[in-house]
Amino acid sequence: MLRSRAVIAACALTAGVLTLMATPAMAEPEFSGQSTTASVKPLPGMIQALQRDLGLSAEQAESRLLNEARLAGVETKIRKSLGGGYAGSWLSGPTSSTLTIATTDAASTSSVTGAGVQAKVVRHSLASLNAAKDALDKASATAAPKASPVWYVDVRTNSVVVQTSQPADAEAFIAASGADRGAVRVELSGETPQTYYDLRGGDAYYIGGARCSIGFPITRGTTQGFVSAGHCGSTGNSTSGYNQVAQGTFQGSSFPTNDYSWIATNSNWTAQPWVNQSGTNLQVTGSTVAVEGASICRSGSTTGWHCGTVQQRNTSVTYSQGTVYEVTRTNVCAEPGDSGGSFISGSQAQGVTSGGSGNCSSGGTTYFQPVNEILSVYGLTLKTSGGTPPPTGCTGYQQTVTGSLSSGASAYQPGGSYYNSTVSGTHRACLDGPNGTDFDLYLEKWNGSAWATVASATTANPDETLTYSGTSGYYRYRVHAYSGSGSYSLGYTKP
């Protein structure tokens, strides 16, 4: 949907293209000692890439992946056992055969050392190094050092490194921050970083003074870009990103009859296999078409994330500009500015937002242009995360949901919301996380003013189960990626 004040005044609550020339497209109020050995199956090309970039043989590359998977679980358990004495860890050797664990507690070294694992006693804990870096971060918010563009925690040297081309500038920066000087070292560097930006479904982009939403990132040979709605722009129009940085150019556009386009972006932008799901990155794994009745969700830069169901495929809809054929009709809401944004079912891309009626306060009907036709017409390749399905090790539960998390992130299920248990009884859940990670599971209950954790499963493994007997009320699950990233599956049964 385009955002333009001049058109807002003329919008009508009738079926219309989701620019500000027409209003398109919801519901209960929101409540604010054992190693893990992963089965490593490298993605196509991974072994070759490791050989090329790390100078390894094929055997060394395979051994490296196996060692990294095995030692990941070992590291997680040791890290948790060391608590505040933990000072970081790192792998070394061409095949990652050695894991070094740093600790401030000399007495703990005997419990750390084992097959392929060695301990190193250091002065600063990881917590204290992080505190020193946090001080630098806060100081940079008001006076970013131009000659010291990079600083980081370096666990190998047990210090915070400030890279700079001007040591005096760096010293002044460190002194002003109040960071522990004994934990910080200055390193001479001529590095001058520049920014790069991710293309993500649902994020805003601009065409002059109007706004639309990215549908799905794509590639065409070595060119990167994204698909969107045709009514958002004409071939040759320039675009800027959500941050108003120059982005790309419309390479093709068709509207009406169709409502699709594709935009090639410049080298500052990288196509990612993601859709913006309320601020988190939902992985896109393919574009299998969802049938009538299937659940479907939409991401757009005006109203964010909303869901509903597929009503009818092969629909013709007439806007004031003309008729668009073979779109899909849904009961998902949308509003001006959402045009071009992603429609997705599970992890499967479905299409780009075209138009509709209603809004996200009272509900509405929205139509989308199927994505597979766009890919076919322009010879584009959908950017996906490799098509690897989420784990499916949890069976026999009433409901199963899936998702993907980056290390340190959390997601709430089901669907970023909660469920209502009308009777007392037992809640059961099973989390199946990706191999080589540590995913944790929490069950939370609404106490009338806040969410409170009533049960948890937090082993050092990717898989968790929990059981809780509780009274009626509102419940939700929080899935947390303690370490590692990837797709997960959550099965749950309520009373």
Active-site residue flag, 427? no
Cα dihedral 434/437/438/444 (nearest 10)? -30
Is 124 an annotated catalytic residue?
no
Count Cβ atoms below 10 Å from residue 250 Cβ, excluding itself.
21
SS3 33: coil
Of 148, 228, 253, 259, which one is the catalytic site residue?
259
For 485, phi then psi, to 5°, come to -130, 160
Residue 395 CA to residue 416 CA, distance in Å, equals 21
Cβ-based neighbours of 214, under 8 Å, separated by 6 or more = 199, 200, 201, 202, 203, 204, 205, 226, 228, 340, 341, 342
Return the SS3 of 95: coil
- Among 254, 261, 339, 385, the one annotated catalytic: 339
3-state SS track over 336-350: CCCCCCEEEECCEEE
Has 259 been annotated as catalytic?
Answer: yes
Given 124, 231, 427, 480, which residue is catalytic? 231
Answer yes or no: are the C-beta atoms of 484 and 436 closer than 8 Å: yes
What does the alpha-carbon distance between residue 194 and residue 191 come to, in Å, rounded to a whole number?
10
Which has the closest alpha carbon to 227: 267, 256, 260? 260
Distance in angstroms (rounded) separating the CA atoms of residues 442 and 490:
12
How far is the C-alpha of 465 from the C-alpha of 484, rounded, in Å?
19
Token pair of 487, please?
Answer: 């797709």
**Cα-based distances in Å from 482 to 27, 147, 212:** 31, 35, 35
Q: Is the dihedral of CA 180, 182, 183, 187 positive or negative?
A: positive
| Dihedral of alpha carbons 17, 307, 410, 388, sign | negative
Neighbours of 69 (CB within 10 A): 18
The pairing of beta strand 246-254 with beta strand 280-283: unpaired
Query: Which residues are known catalytic residues?
Result: 231, 259, 339
